[in-house]
């Protein structure tokens, strides 16, 4: 009574050869061609497929193995000038290339399986954010003011502050670091604006006691412009800049960090 044995399915003759090499733990660069050929031929004889296209590939490899086997069994002639080429070299190269693509396919398959378990959410924006509109158009407020003009005024103020310093007396004693809060300066500027309604930008900065105070005051004006509490107007490009207080805007609590 014969026993039916189910053979493993291989993708081709190279897949079968690679399986035999790994199964027998053989060095792929030193294949015992006689042993591998015998195992390969034994498998081919047990194949039950009737597909001639598949069988032809395995038979071609059988002929290749037999040819390599016969070359290795023939005696070699000594030649000092040229080293004899190993008959297995071409087969080893094909096996290495096949092995590289085979394991690359495993990696791609794993990535495909990982990707199939990932869910993506469609892009969405909450209605309260999508419908948000700025209460004050900052671009409109600054449309008549150029950055070069603001920078020029700032440098002029800085130069005057430097000119006020006595080069001798300023070195006397110990100078304490001045601490100025941006929130406090914004409150001061708003009270100043409410009192004067309209005032000169340059004059306000010139009235400040120190360099740091001038800088924080300048930042405070920009913040108040941003929230719509102040409006800046300049008639011509080289004219002075005038700041006007804008009443009726909802009062805002200033929560900012202190500038040292």
pTM: 0.39
Burial 212-247 (b: 16+ CB within 10 A, else e): bbbbbbbbbbebbbebbbbbbebeeeeeebbbebbe
DSSP 144: T
CA dihedral 225, 226, 229, 232 (to 10 degrees): 20
Residues 249, 151 share a domain: yes
> Looking at the 3D structure of the chain, how many domains does it have?
2
Residues 106, 67 share a domain: yes
Residues 145, 112 share a domain: no
Residue 253 lies in a domain: yes
In a 10 Å sphere around its CB, with 0-12 CB exposed, 13-18 middle and 19+ buried, how is residue 154 labelled?
middle
- Which residue carries 């080069």 as its tokens? 167
128-137, 185-194, 215-224, 240-249: least confidently modelled range: 128-137
pLDDT confidence tier of residue 259, bands split at 50, 70 and 90: very low
In tens, the pLDDT along 16-44 reads: 888 888 888 888 888 888 888 888 888 88
Residues 149, 219 share a domain: yes
Predicted pLDDT of residue 176? 56
Higher pLDDT, 1 or 128: 128
pLDDT confidence tier of residue 4, bands split at 50, 70 and 90: very low
Predicted pLDDT of residue 186? 84
Residue 98 lies in a domain: yes
């Amino acid at each position: 009574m014969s026993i039916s044995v189910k053979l493993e399915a291989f993708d081709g003759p190279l897949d079968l050869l690679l399986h035999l090499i790994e199964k027998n733990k053989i060095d792929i660069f030193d294949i015992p061609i006689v042993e591998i050929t015998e195992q390969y031929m034994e498998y081919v004889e047990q194949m039950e497929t009737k597909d001639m296209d598949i069988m032809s590939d395995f038979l071609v490899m059988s002929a290749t193995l037999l040819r390599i086997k016969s070359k290795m069994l023939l005696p070699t002639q000594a030649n000092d000038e040229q080293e004899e080429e190993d008959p297995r070299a071409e087969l080893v190269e094909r096996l290495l290339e096949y092995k590289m693509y085979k394991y690359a396919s495993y990696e791609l398959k794993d990535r495909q399986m990982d990707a199939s378990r990932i869910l993506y959410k469609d892009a969405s924006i909450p209605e309260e954010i999508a419908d948000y509109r700025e209460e004050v158009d900052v671009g409109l407020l600054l449309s008549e003011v150029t950055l070069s003009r603001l920078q020029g005024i700032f440098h002029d103020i800085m130069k005057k502050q430097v000119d006020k310093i006595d080069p001798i007396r300023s070195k006397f004693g110990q100078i304490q670091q001045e601490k100025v809060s941006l929130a406090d300066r914004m409150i001061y500027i708003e009270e100043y604006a409410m009192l004067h309604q309209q005032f000169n930008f340059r004059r306000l900065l010139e009235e400040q006691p120190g360099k740091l105070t001038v800088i924080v005051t300048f930042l405070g004006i920009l913040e108040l412009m941003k929230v719509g509490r102040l409006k800046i107007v300049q008639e011509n490009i080289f004219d002075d800049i005038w700041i006007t207080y804008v009443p009726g805007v909802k009062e805002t609590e200033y929560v900012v960090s202190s500038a040292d």
